[in-house]
Structures are given as structure tokens and as C-alpha cells.
Amino acid sequence: MDIERSLSTQEICDSTALVERGLGKRFTVTLYGEPREAFAVRYRGHVYAYLNSCAHIPIELDYQPGEFFDLSHNYLVCATHGAYYAPETGVCLGGPCPGRRLQPVAVNETGGKVYWLANVIE
């Protein structure tokens, strides 16, 4: 069965919009009836998505829209207080909240598109 038919999905972007370790794509999800900002990035060939909220203080990570990677393009970083996170797990590796993690958002890449899996809570 096709994933778009079996799950409630929302298209985020074309796959080509997510360049390896490049700008992320912001999108809005609805969790428990409330809109929340989220983002997707490509890292080591895979798409990862998280709520756009630092694990230390709930503020958005990017200082400019889509700027989620640090200067090395190896870590996701909170522009406000420098917490940095592993892109593939969302775990904070340093800064004010080591060990905490970003809230993952379920996504799928298929048919040249990236989708939020709206009825999957991670």
C-alpha cells in the first residue's frame, strides 16, 4: 500500500529543496490541536525533522530562516545560546542542555517529495 494513502500526510517540499547539510525547510505541524513550527534538513543522505524549539529554552533554533547547521555543517545549532545537536538523533552534544534532545517529527521521502506523517508521533 502506498504510504500517502495509508497515513495522513502533508507535503513539506520537493526532495531537491533539501541539499546535503544545506538550508533546512521550515513547515508547520499541528500537534494536539496546536500549530507548531518544525523543520527538515538533509544529513548524510537522509531527511531528519524536528520541532523548531531548543531543548534548553523553547525558542526557535534558526537565526535566519532555514539556517539550522553550524559553520562546520556537522551539527544543528541554536543560534541564541549555542546548544548543538546531532542531526541524526537530535541529542544535545554541548551547550546549556547536554543530553536533552530535540523533539523529532516523523517524515518520509518518497516519489521526489518529503512528507510530514501527520498521524505519527515520535
Burial of 83 per CB tally in 10 Å (0-12, 13-18, 19+):
buried
What average pLDDT does range 117-122 have in this prediction? Answer: 70
Strand pairing report for 46-51 and 34-43 = antiparallel
pLDDT at 4 over 90: no
| Confidence (pLDDT) at 2 | 43
Which domains are seen in the chain, by residue range?
18-106 (2.102.10.10)
* Residue 120 banded pLDDT, cuts 50, 70, 90: low
CA dist 35 → 29, 32, 48, 111 (Å): 6, 8, 19, 27
pLDDT at 42 over 80: yes
AA identity, residue 20: E
pLDDT at 85 over 90: yes
| Confidence (pLDDT) at 1 | 35
* Residue 88 banded pLDDT, cuts 50, 70, 90: very high
Q: Considering only CA atoms, which of 16, 79, 76 is closest in space to residue 43?
A: 76
Of 6-15, 20-29, 53-62, 63-72, which gets the smallest average pLDDT? 6-15
Q: Taking all residues of the chain, what is their mean pLDDT, rounded to a whole number?
A: 92
